[in-house]
Every structure is written in C-alpha cells, then in structure tokens.
Amino acid sequence: QTPQIGVVGMAVMGKNLALNIESRGYTVAIYNRTSSKTETVAKEHADKKLVPSYSIQDFVASLEKPRRIILMVKAGAGTDAVIQELLPLLDKGDVLIDGGNTFFKDTMRRNAELDKSGINFIGMGVSGGELGALQGPSMMPGGQKEAYDLVAPIFEQMAAKAQDGAPCVTYIGANGAGHYVKMIHNGIEYGDEELIAESYHLLHDLVGLSVAEIADIFADWNKGELDSYLIEITADILTRKDDLGTGKPIVDVILDRTANKGTGKWSSGNALELEIPQSLITESVYARYISMMKDERVKASKVLPKPAGKVAIDKKAVVEMIRKALYFSKIMSYAQGFEQMRIASAHYDWDLDYANIARIWRAGCIIRAQFLQNITDAYEKDPKLQNLMLDDYFLDITKQYQESVRDLVGLAVKAGVPVPGFAAAISYFDSYRAERLPANIIQAERDYFGAHTYERTDREGSFHYPWYEEQ
Ligand code: NDP
C-alpha cells in the first residue's frame, strides 16, 4: 500500500511516532539522514507497515499526494537542513509538519517562507516523551487550518485520549501558535517541577521527614486535587533505591544540579519581551541556574550565616500547609501561563482557545493533571476570563488556602529553606489583588532624575514636577 504519511528522523521520537501511526492502521514511509538507523527500524519492525527509503527522493516519491510529512529531527539547523532538501521535491498543497521542539519564531519564519511556494507548514508541539510518542502524546499543531484538516484524522487517532475519550490534539492557530503553546507548556512544566521540589525540600528540611515518609505523602497527595503525572512520578522516584548498591534512596545520591534545554528560558524571555509578569516560570529557570552553581554554593555554605536557632513547628499542620501551598502556587503558575497566552494571542493574532488548550493537556503530556479539567471548565464557562484566579472554583481555593501559603513562606524564610516558587506565587497574588501598588514612588523617581513625567490620581494628562525648584 502507498504510505499515507511519512516520518523523517528515526531517533527515538520519530521512530515512536511512526510506530504509533502504523498501529492505527496506516502505512508509514520512514527516512533518516543516516541510513543505518532507517534500516535498523525497518528490520526490528519487519512485521509492520513501515516503508523505508534510503534517499530523500525515494522517500518523497513513495508518498500518497498531497504528501503529509512529519519532521522529527534535531530542532534548529537540523530542521532547516531537512526542509531545504525536501523543498525541490515537494508540490503545492503538500503538508510538512515539524514535530520538534522548535522556537515559535522559527516556525513563523518557515511557515511564511514555505507558503510562498504553496507548501503548507505546520509547527506542532509534541509532549509526552518517548513513551507518549509511542502510545499517544499531547499534540499542539499550528499553521494553515486547511492543511491541519488534511492530517487531523490521523492525528486524532494517534493522540492520547482524555478520560472522556477526547483526543489530546486540536488546531491551535496560525503559523507559530502550536509551538508557542508547547513552549508555554514546557515553561509551566518547569514551574510544576520547581514547586514539587520546594515541597520535598520543606518536608525534608523543615518537617524533618525521611525520604520514605515523603514518598507516602506524595502518593497520598496524588489521590486528591494535586492528582497529576509529575506528583505520581515523584512519589515513585522517592521509593527507589540506588541501583549501584549503596543502599541509599536514589534521590540521595543524585547530584543537586538541574540542567535545561532552554524552553523555560524561551517562555520567560517572551514574557519579558511582551511585558507580561511571569514570575513562576522565571523563578523556576533561575532555580535551575543557581542549582548549577554547585561549587560556589558549597563554598558559600561554609561562610555565609545560617538562621539563628530552630523553628518550632507542628509537623502534621505544616505538611498540610505545604500541600495547600503547592496547589495554590500551581494555580498562580497556570494563571500566569494562561495570561501570557492571552496577551500573546492578541499580539501575534492567533485567537487561541484556552478551554481547548487545557483540554488537550489533560492526558499524554508531562503536565497532565486532574486540575486541567477545572481549567477547561473555567474557560468553557467564560472564554474571555481575564485571569484564572477570578474563576469561581479557583477563587474559592485562593480564599481557603492563602493564609496557609503566607504562614508557610514565613516559616520557610525563618528556617532558611529557599522557596522562590512559593514566594513568587504569594507575591504575584498580593500584587495582582492590590488596588494600589508602590509604583507611584518609582514613577516619582523617574520623573525626578529623568523628567519621565507622571500621571495623577485626580486628573487626566501627564505631569512633570518641578523637583529642582525651592518650595
Ligand atoms: P534528536 O533531537 O536527538 O535528533 C536526532 C535526529 O535528528 C536524528 O534523526 C538525526 O539524524 C536528525 N538530524 C539532526 N541533524 C540533522 C541534519 N542536519 N539533517 C538531517 N537530519 C538531522 O532526536 P529526538 O528523537 O530526541 O527528538 C526529535 C525532535 O523531537 C527534537 O526536536 C526534540 O526536541 C523533539 N522532542 C523530543 C522529546 C524527547 O522526549 N526526546 C519530546 C518532545 C519533542 P542522524 O541520525 O542522521 O544524525
């Protein structure tokens, strides 16, 4: 049978996506720059409807028209190189889908360039890691809508399915919208991971629990409103013993340095560019950076003073405070993430549908969680919701939990346990609900030293104060 779709890039993600599509009844053409990889995949899966090609010309020629080609190659120069090779071989109306972790502005550029030759270009965020790619990822495609309609039947079959059976894929918007939403997904993922790490830190250093006890607490939290993939794997991770035989929990021998591939930084950078408060993701990026300064931290730990004395706590009460702070801060983080998408949607002209975005994050992706249903419900009730915390459900949580977050951040500061995520969450909350902020002082200073003028509370217009005249 003529392959209905092709995949370029036979590293782990491309191979697994190809196998996923094949498992839904399609014949899939496969190609990789290094032929031996294509050969290995074809040999390992000789019983499957995979059609290997060893030249890009054969690969393109093997496909049903209009051609549908997924690129699953190293993002950046790799994607450009493959596009340049494919371009002379493609016809008007063909659909190229970039499933890599591509920066959304690259996708906007490629979409516009390829559009000139009549080639449709879809930038699609794919989340769920290698297992997700194989069994069903969450997919965020953006580009020409008519082109998406040509691939939608295949994508809806290969995507993860939420509890209500809905596929975790939807058309996101024009040009770079899909990769943008994937970037925000990854930024939010940084935030979730940071908040979980701070919770673990407090349970360990402030409450004084063992790794095994903390594992039980995370497993317990996973049965309630925090129910999510990342809490679930954290509980599992904390039960695991070192595989190199020290007898210790594996987390105790893993070095405290978190690397990154840059998607959190992209989210924060874009928030700065569009002038959007995005403190949760940004603090999470900084937390990774400071974690990497291990040598400096070790030296500083011997010089800089610790807090005086121990903090007396009621252990059980503090565990519950941490749970509440985790949920509250997660809500602040998603509120910021959705706020960023709302402003970006207007800026880049995407008309994003927030209920649909939350809906396709309910399964398949790394941030999948029960509470994404609450976000879906909130935006279904009010598609123009200004900020997630103003929705009734989330408003109620802030009413119930804010005092616990304040108490916990106070305790953490007193005990000297860093909580950049929790502190950013409560500060964002307090800033957002403030009728009056101290910005008047800054504006006065700007007017004083730079004649930048100021606005008044009692009349229209811009004013400059005669700071250098005697009164
Ligand atoms: P890699 O990111 O490691 O990329 C390797 C693949 O890219 C190989 O097939 C390689 O071909 C190809 N490639 C690199 N440079 C070129 C080039 N100049 N010309 C042609 N082909 C090139 O593979 P992954 O499978 O990990 O990821 C693929 C994409 O999916 C990436 O964009 C990644 O960010 C994204 N992604 C990855 C996830 C993951 O969990 N790993 C999750 C979600 C998205 P060759 O064999 O010839 O070197």
Interval 388-445: pLDDT, tens: 999 999 999 999 999 999 999 999 999 999 999 999 999 999 999 999 999 999 999 9
pLDDT of residue 471: 84
Q: What is the pLDDT of residues 314-370, one digit of tens each?
A: 999 999 999 999 999 999 999 999 999 999 999 999 999 999 999 999 999 999 999
**Closest listed residue to residue 196, CA positions, set 238, 241, 239, 230:** 230
Give the number of the atom of ligand 1 that is nearest the alpha carbon of residue 9. 9
Instruction: Write down the domain spans for the chain.
Output: 5-175, 183-432, 441-471
The domains spanning 5-175 and 183-432 adopt the same CATH topology: no
Which residues are designated catalytic?
Answer: 182, 189
User: What pTM value is reported for the model?
Assistant: 0.97
pLDDT > 90: percent of the chain = 99
Query: Does any ligand 1 atom lie closer than 6 A to the CB of residue 101?
Result: yes
Cβ contacts of 399 within 8 Å, gap of 6 or more: none
pLDDT of residue 263: 93
Query: Does any ligand 1 atom lie closer than 6 A to the CB of residue 364?
Result: no
Query: Does any ligand 1 atom lie closer than 6 A to the CB of residue 14?
Result: yes
Residues in the chain, how many? Answer: 471
Q: What is the pLDDT of residues 51-84, one digit of tens each?
A: 999 999 999 999 999 999 999 999 999 999 999 9
Alpha helices in 56-176 (DSSP H): 56-61, 77-86, 104-115, 129-135, 145-158
Q: What is the pLDDT of residues 232-245, one digit of tens each?
A: 999 999 999 999 99
Ligand 1 centroid to residue 74 C-alpha, Å: 3
Assess whether pLDDT exceeds 90 at residue 159.
yes
pLDDT of residue 381: 98
Cβ contacts of 431 within 8 Å, gap of 6 or more: 277, 437
Q: What are phi and psi of 52, to 5 degrees?
A: -80, 145
Q: What is the pLDDT of residues 265-299, one digit of tens each?
A: 999 999 999 999 999 999 999 999 999 999 999 99
The predicted model gives 187-192 an average pLDDT of 98
Assess whether pLDDT exceeds 90 at residue 310.
no
Judged on CB neighbours under 10 Å (0-12, 13-18, 19+), 436 is exposed
Q: What are phi and psi of 347, to 5 degrees?
A: -65, -45
Q: Which fold has domain 441-471?
A: 1.20.5
CATH number for the domain formed by residue range(s) 5-175: 3.40.50.720
pLDDT of residue 309: 83
The domain 183-432 is placed in CATH, from the list 2.30.30.140, 1.10.1040.10, 3.40.1350.10, 3.50.4.10, at 1.10.1040.10
Assess whether pLDDT exceeds 90 at residue 123.
yes
Q: Ligand 1: which residue has its CA nearest to atom 6?
A: 73
pLDDT of residue 460: 98
Mean pLDDT, rounded, of the chain: 97
Query: Does any ligand 1 atom lie closer than 6 A to the CB of residue 57?
Result: no
pLDDT of residue 118: 96
Token reading at 286? 């900084």
Choose the residue to mutate in 70, 72, 79 for probing ligand 1, maximizing ligand atoms within 8 Å of C-beta.
72
Q: 85 near 56, Cβ under 8 Å? A: yes
Q: Ligand 1: which residue has its CA nearest to atom 17?
A: 78
ipTM of model over 0.90: yes
The band of 219, judged by pLDDT with boundaries at 50, 70 and 90, is very high
